[in-house]
Amino acid sequence: MTVLLQKRNPWFETVAEAQRRARRRLPGSVYGALVAGSERGRTVSDNQQAFAELGFAPRVVGHHAQRELSTTVLGVDCAMPVVISPTGVQAVHPDGEVAVARAAANRGIPMGLSSFASKPVEEVVEANGNTFFQMYWSGSREQMVQRMARAREAGAKALIATLDWSFSNGRDWGSPPIPERLDLRTAVRFAPDVLPHPRWLWAFAKDRRLPDLTVPNLAPERGAAGPTFFGAYGEWMQTPPPSWEDVKWLREEWGGPFLLKGVTRIDDARRAVDAGVDAVSVSNHGGNNLDTTPATIRVLPGIAEAVGDQIEVLLDGGVRRGGDVAKAVALGARAVLIGRAYLWGLAANGQAGVENVLDILRGGLDSAVLGLGHSSVHELGPEDLYVPEGFARRLGADG
């Protein structure tokens, strides 16, 4: 008897399936780093649960045969209101951020690149000309000026300043140990975790490279050696936290489109406007900052109402479906940033997997715009949703 073995279809139909495949493919320590959140993970859970509490109010007649999903973010055209959120060292695939950038470019989506990324900004901008470079307040002013100059010279279209990171180390679940560098001793220690995942190991082995745990974008120039992840973390810990005057300085020093990421309070959003930012991202760092911070979709409406007529307001946190994108836009977001969703796609099937995730989000968004009776994503509004009593959280409303 001949048994025909069919190769697994690389296409997946949901982000949840991408996550399941990523979990099977990745070593437990790598997968754990993707899903972990600070302390008990309440904020991670609330970021997703809050979207489920919102309901749609669909129309039965008057649908439009064609829907317009495109928009702009910081002056950059977007095929839909989605931006790749910057994430740190990516060990899920050997092509890392370059694969993500190519996928995003193929789908007309801007690429957010972390200063803690595993690939240099020059390579990523070559792969996606609409790259936004992200920086922490880390190091001296001279070092920050140097890093901004390098990103500007590479062709980055905007700067994302992330200031909400406190790197809580009291994680009760999921967070694995991260080695400072990969050497023979580290390889032996992690072998029991890695060897049961030969497909992930082979992806790196065939290119004769190991996951890179250095951060090249903190080097003074392309090709120079960057610090390790923990070396970069140490630099951040030793840098005095910024003031609003520092934010204003950073914005003026960059000189181009500027997004402040990490806002959850209305008073902070107003101060950001005063500092001259062009946009804010309503973000709790994906649940990796202070646990029990409310879901970003809960605090979005108050911030959008307070400053949405003056600057662009984006949302980051918990987006897993195209319907989530529609809900965020309906409550005042210009666009959303996605993080874990595309990393699962990258782990599941490389660049094609990221494109797969973006196609899923686009399909879900288009269905929502259709069902709600609109011809454009720009027509979405609060009247398209059922928002349960007590859903929203207004932080810093009296500031």
Contact status, residue 325 vs residue 44, Cβ threshold 8 Å: no
Span 221-236, mean pLDDT? 80
In this structure, is residue 320 part of a structural domain? yes
Residue 163, phi then psi, degrees to nearest 5: -120, 5
Give the tokens for residue 156.
Answer: 């980055």
Kindly report the average pLDDT of the chain as a whole number: 90
Residue 187: pLDDT band (50, 70, 90) is low
Q: Please identify which of the residues 63, 64, 285, 374 carries the catalytic annotation.
A: 285
Reported as a single tens digit per residue, the pLDDT across 269-311 is 999 999 999 999 999 999 888 899 999 999 999 999 999 999 9
In this structure, is residue 10 part of a structural domain? no
Q: At what angle do helices 42-53 and 322-330 cross, to 10 degrees?
A: 80
Reported as a single tens digit per residue, the pLDDT across 73-93 is 999 999 999 999 999 877 788
The confidence score (pLDDT) of residue 7 equals: 57
Span 106-127, mean pLDDT? 96
In this structure, is residue 183 part of a structural domain? no
- Any idea how long the chain is? 399
Give the tokens for residue 205.
Answer: 């082995």
What is the rounded CA–CA span in Å between residue 82 and residue 298?
19
Contact status, residue 116 vs residue 160, Cβ threshold 8 Å: no
Judge whether 64 counts as a catalytic residue. no
In this structure, is residue 171 part of a structural domain? no
Span 378-398, mean pLDDT? 96
Residue 36: pLDDT band (50, 70, 90) is confident
Span 242-267, mean pLDDT? 97
Q: Tell me the CA distances in angstroms from 324 to 16, 30, 205, 262, one per residue in order.
A: 14, 26, 37, 19
User: Is a pLDDT exceeding 90 seen at residue 167?
Assistant: no
Span 210-231, mean pLDDT? 79
The confidence score (pLDDT) of residue 195 equals: 66
3-state secondary structure of 230: helix
The confidence score (pLDDT) of residue 335 equals: 98
In this structure, is residue 277 part of a structural domain? yes
How does DSSP classify residue 197? -
Span 222-231, mean pLDDT? 79
Q: How many CB atoms lie within 10 A of CB 112?
A: 30
In this structure, is residue 129 part of a structural domain? yes
- Cα Dmax for the chain: 76
User: Is a pLDDT exceeding 50 seen at residue 315?
Assistant: yes
What is the extent of the structural domain holding 269? 15-166+189-382
In this structure, is residue 325 part of a structural domain? yes
CATH number at residue 209: 3.20.20.70
In this structure, is residue 4 part of a structural domain? no
- Up-side HSE of residue 398: CA atoms within 13 Å toward CB? 0
User: Is a pLDDT exceeding 60 seen at residue 4?
Assistant: no
Residue 6: pLDDT band (50, 70, 90) is very low
How many structural domains comprise the chain?
1
Give the tokens for residue 139.
Answer: 């190091």
Q: pLDDT exceeding 90 applies to what percent of the chain?
A: 71
What is the rounded CA–CA span in Å between residue 115 and residue 216?
8
